[in-house]
Structure 1
Amino acid sequence: MSTWPTEMAPPGRGTAGPPSPALQPGGMVGDGRYRLLSYSGTDGRCNAQMWRARDGQLGRDVALTVLLGNQGDAHAAARVRRTLERAMHGASYAHPGVSRILDVLSPGNGIAPREHVLGIVVAEWTNGTDLIDLIADGPLPAATASRLLEPLAAAVEGAHHAGLVLGTEHPQRIRVTPEGQLRLAFPGPRAEASSRDDVKGLGAILYLLLTGRWALPGGPQGLPVAPIGPNGSVVAPRSLHPMVPHALSAVAVRSLEDTSVGGIRTGAAILQVLDEIAEAEAETGLIPVVTEQEPEDNVVWTTQRPVKDKTRTRKLAIGVTALAVATLLVLGWIAMQVVGFFNENNTKGDSGPPLVISQVVPTTETKQSINNAPTPTTGPVAPASISVFNVASDPDSPNKGGLAIDGDPNTSWRTDKYLSNFPALKPGIGLMATFAQPVKLAQVVITSPSAGTKVEIRTAASDQPQLQQTLVVGSATLAAGDTTIPVKMTAPGQRIVVWITSMSPSGKLWASQIAEIKFIGGR
């Protein structure tokens, strides 16, 4: 980490608190015990700066979280005291994902009264690199991000069980060890920080590793912020980078959401997904996970030249010859029948009555009767369109929904591959069929190879309803092949949702596919 001339502020990162001659490289703090070596970042939310410093008494490098402010400001002093109390309680907590706290300083206790410093948290120095420097060349692969975050997530979960808050919600407090693990290098949680903020911090760090963007307020200057979707939530990492596994993308977003709308509450839930990603990588070696897609336009690409097979060529020639002979025989028979028909008519002459063809011209009354005739409601009913119905952040195979109604059972719409079955990270996924006119269905027939998949047939009143605004009119567990689902509709509807509530197991993963959907009308 580079330093800068004494008369210059840290470039691009800003400063916190009133200017202090001591807070420059080479300056001394803590009653002259600690000499500042290099600046690591600023947490403007609590007016703190993070520094690498040298302990002159013990001759070792340490990490300083310097809390700045006016010592005459009672409100600021009270907030800092709360931070220092939390830091002292955390000094007994030992975990590889957290730098060990060595000392806590306050005015009159290691801090000279003249300094513009309200408190200092001293922790052991973490060798390695800054978290932000790690993504300088772009986002990381999903497996790498999982391995990096796992120790920090485990540290958060352990601290919460011990009744502690760590304060992980700022990227410049985190460093990457030489062993490739994230570590809270500058402990000292804000006075108002809660365990929920730690979970949000984990989600924001995971989002940063997967996208290169920071998803919480108060981030460093110059660091790109996460985009916000129409619903007010951050856009899912998978929407920005399709190579991100769905489970990892979902856990990053849900960690940032409020628990009242389904947000993740604990570090254990995040840790479980990280463990599953690591386990899947170890067993399959297919990280990052790529969603299986249908070949475009059914084109098969190959790098091998075709092999000349004489036996196969001979069989093909015999088959073509036999087909040609059969075709000639059929055409000859048809010609004989036509000739016989005309000869028979000529023999009969005019003995029969003349055939009169009359044209019926519809009257006004006839036209009105035709227009008012009821539309047939029985038998197969084809939808006008179909789309993926999704209530979470990103849909599964959004461009493949039409394969479920294309009449070809060899093509299918597929869900993503999940590490956990619904509703672990998502309540479900489905397809919404829209009809030109309201229909009253009696049955829905689903063709699927995914035995064990559980589905519900629902009606919807709008194009983009919430799940709770739809009505269940049928349900079933799919068998391999065709499954007929009885439907009980009290009134015709124009939008029908096939909603998957449980997927089929596929080794360590979960996924389902739907080859065809047929809608059968009834009276």
Structure 2
Amino acid sequence: MDTRRSEQAGAPNPAGVRAQGGSLAPGRVVGDGRYRLLAQFGIDERAGAHLWRARDGQLRRDVALTLLVGDPADAEAARLARRTLDRAAHGAKFGHGGVARVLDVLSLGSGITSTEGLLGVVVAEWTKGSDLVDLVAERPVAPAAAARMVQQLAEAVERAHQNGLVLGLDHPQRLRLTPDGALKLAFPGPLPDATLRDDVKALGAVLYLLLTGRWALPGGPAAIPAAPQGPGGRLVPPRSLVPSVPVELSALAVRTIEDGGHGGIRTSAAILSVLGQVAEAEERTQLMKAIGATEEGQPESDGTIWTTKKPVKDAARRKKLALGVTVLVVAVVGILAWLGMLAISLFQSDPDATGPKVNVAAPSASSTPPPDGGQQQPAPPPAQGGGVGQAVEPAAVNVYNPEGAGDNPGRAKNAADGDPGTFWRTEQYKQQFPTVKPGVGLVFSFKDPIKLAQVKITSDKPGTKVKILSADSKDAGLDETKELAAADVGEGESTISLPAPADGKFFIVWITQLADIDNGKHMTQLGEVSFLPAA
């Protein structure tokens, strides 16, 4: 999906957006000559709010502008605009990862002149990523991924409501999907009459949109089809449109949006509770499927989020299993042979005789780790390149999770801050990878290409298995990466030597097995990851 079209100055407006107000077009400067308009991302017709990406000429950074278009001579329109601006200014003190920070609020006579055709401007930090409209344009989102996205947004709503704030996220073009897979309110500025209940209904509408590709509230953009209604004007449940949607998620969306009847959900705290129960139920379901597969088991539907591809038929699985056992036997024989050679060398008269060196980083996922209780040998230098140089600091660190939202994205920078005492950690999982999903990791981006020879990883517990992958971009799919090495990560510092130096700007530490923690849960903590190029 190419979302870059809508981020280019002068590109066609997304979703058929019109530059209402006559002179709103890329290149125009607003806000007393400070902000130059770059590209339009939507219109909230209910408030005449035009959503733009712009360039701050003073601080030389991109910002998100919510332009309130109207006639300054219209007293009622000016009053409503002032109400929106007051709410946005009050929310400037609110900080949460799910809401773009408000940087400034401009009003008539204070940054806006009566000749600009504007009643006010809300300036917020720019949110990198893609449009929510683009996300659902091709097909709905997998149910569990949709639940995670809404769960993060619901946490922001719950925190805001505890502080007496209305966020105003009941329009899909105000939301964007960050590179970490989280939904974020990118264009703040609630409607003048918006209530706490409107925020809650918006969460249900966003869930409905992710599951079906349809918008279930009034005033949505023309680019998104409206949700269908059944007899009596009742909302058609998402499960009736997409059979793969779980019953619980389908009911949650409808009960949150609709006002009448018993059993309605009216608070974000209630939504978080239901989403937590759905996540646990999904986890148990996936485990039961993994354990109870039958000989005639059918491939799962494309809506499944815990796998990256459909399971193969059992005959093929048995063939692969036999091949894997054969490889394992060969590896065991090789280890026994090595142990025999080592024992013989201990009794040889030649003092220079030694056993073969062992690299703690196996060159592929099929290699066998040292036997239990064995001591890891120091990793030899790469086969090519003649040693390693000083560690190179990455330009950026992001959570890598091709399936959707990542684990603790706000802590990703801790893995490359030079302090082994600060950690990035995964979420706690009740089931080990790959039962719940194939893995999770960190992608490290470098300003210039490096010739990678070694990776050093500091962790606080043994039991983690990782692969070192290279990619052409930080957003590459798992099937677009190249495996460079695989290894077990022990307690303390582990060194992973590549069999041959690899060129690239993007490298991924991909976790395929988590460390065991208390109470039968699994989690991995990485204190510091260092990248050493070939000397």
Superposition TM-score, scaled by structure 1 size: 0.53
- Aligned pair 1:10/2:19, yes or no? no
Inter-CA distance 243–154: structure 2 relative to 1 (3 Å threshold): same
Q: Partners of 2:105 and 2:195 in 1: how far apart?
A: 20
- Displacement of 1:3: 5.4
1:174 aligned onto 2:137: no
Asked whether the equivalents of residues 63 and 126 of structure 2 are also in contact (C-alpha less than 8 Å), the reply is: yes
Aligned partner of 2:286 in structure 1 is 285
Three-state SS of the structure 1 residue aligned to 2:233 is: coil
Aligned counterpart, 1:140: 141
Instruction: Judge conservation of contact 2:68–2:121 (CA < 8 Å) in 1.
Output: yes
Deviation track 1:381-438 (CA, whole Å, cap 9, x = no partner) reads xxxxxxxxxxxxxxxxxxxxxxxxxxxxxxxxxxxxxxxxxxxxxxxxxxxxxxxxxx
The equivalences for 1:78-157 within 5 A come to 78-157=79-158
Give the direction of change, closer, same or farther, for the CA distance of 1:110–1:252 in structure 2 (3 Å limit): same
CA contact (8 A) 1:50 1:65 kept: yes
Distance 1:74 1:2, change over 3 A: same
With over 3 angstroms needed to count, the CA separation of the structure-2 counterparts of 1:232 and 1:58, relative to structure 1, is same
The CA distance in 2 between the partners of 1:287 and 1:32, in whole Å, is: 61
CA deviation string 1:279-330 (max 9, x = no partner): 34445536999xx9xx9xxxxx9979xxxxxxxxxxxxxxxxxxxxxxxxxx
Residue identity in the other structure for 2:90: H
**Structure 1: 5+ residue stretches without partners:** 296-300, 305-523
SS in 2 for 1:58: coil
> Could you tell me how far 1:115 is from its partner in structure 2?
0.6
Change (3 A) 1:260 1:191: farther
User: How far is the alpha carbon of 1:245 from its aligned partner?
Assistant: 1.0
Does residue 214 of the first structure (1) align with residue 220 of the second (2)? no
Distance 2:62 2:7 in 1: 19
* Equivalent pairs, count: 295
- Alpha-carbon separation, structure 1, partners of 2:140 and 2:288: 15
Superposed counterparts of 1:269-284, under 5 Å: 269-282=270-283, 284=285
Percent identity of the aligned residues? 57
Q: Are the counterparts in 1 of residues 66 and 121 from structure 2 also a CA contact under 8 Å? A: yes
Alpha-carbon distance between aligned partners in 2 of 1:213 and 1:25, rounded to the nearest angstrom: 29
CA separation of 1:7 and 1:251: change in aligned 2, threshold 3 A: closer
Deviations 1:311-355 (A, max 9, x none): xxxxxxxxxxxxxxxxxxxxxxxxxxxxxxxxxxxxxxxxxxxxx
Question: What CA RMSD, in Å, does the superposition of the two structures yield over aligned residues?
Answer: 2.9
**1:11 and 1:183 mapped to 2: Cα distance?**
18
Q: Which residue of 2 aligns with 1:441?
A: none
1:68 equivalenced with 2:69 (yes/no): yes
Q: Measure the CA separation in 1 of the matches of 2:135 and 2:288.
A: 19
Counterpart code for 1:269: A
- Are residues 1:187 and 2:188 paired? yes
Which stretch has the larger CA shift, 94-103 or 10-19? 10-19
> What TM-score, normalized to structure 2?
0.52
SS of residue in 2 equivalent to 1:231: helix
What is the identity, as a one-letter code, of the residue corresponding to 2:248? A
Q: Distance in 2 between matches of 1:209 and 1:6?
A: 28
| Contact 1:36 1:51 (C-alpha < 8 Å) held by counterparts | yes
Q: CA deviation at 1:12?
A: 4.4
In structure 2, the partner of 1:47 is 48
**Deviation digits for residues 454-512 of structure 1 (CA, Å, limit 9, x no counterpart):** xxxxxxxxxxxxxxxxxxxxxxxxxxxxxxxxxxxxxxxxxxxxxxxxxxxxxxxxxxx
Q: Contact 2:9–2:39 at 8 Å: present in 1 too?
A: no
Change (3 A) 1:9 1:44: farther
Q: Which residue of 2 aligns with 1:464?
A: none
Instruction: Tell me if the contact between 2:66 and 2:189 (Cα under 8 Å) persists in the aligned partners.
Output: yes
Q: Greater shift after overlay, 260-269 or 192-201?
A: 260-269
Aligned 8 A contact 1:215 1:225 in 2: yes
Change in 2 beyond 3 A, CA 1:288/1:264: farther
User: Which residue matches 1:34?
Assistant: 35
Distance 1:148 1:3, change over 3 A: closer
For residues 36 and 145 of structure 2, the distance between their equivalents in structure 1, rounded to whole angstroms, comes to 35
Tell me how far apart the structure 1 counterparts of residues 109 and 218 of structure 2 sit (CA, whole Å): 34
Give the match for residue 413 of structure 1. Answer: none
Distance 2:108 2:65 in 1: 15
The code of the aligned residue for 1:2 comes to R
1:67-466 equivalences in 2 (<5 Å): 67-258=68-259, 261-282=262-283, 284-285=285-286
- Give the match's secondary structure for 2:77: helix
Question: Kindly tell me: are residues 54 and 87 of structure 1, through their superposed partners in 2, closer, same or farther at Cα, counting changes over 3 Å?
Answer: same
Q: Does the 8 Å contact 2:200/2:266 carry over to 1?
A: yes
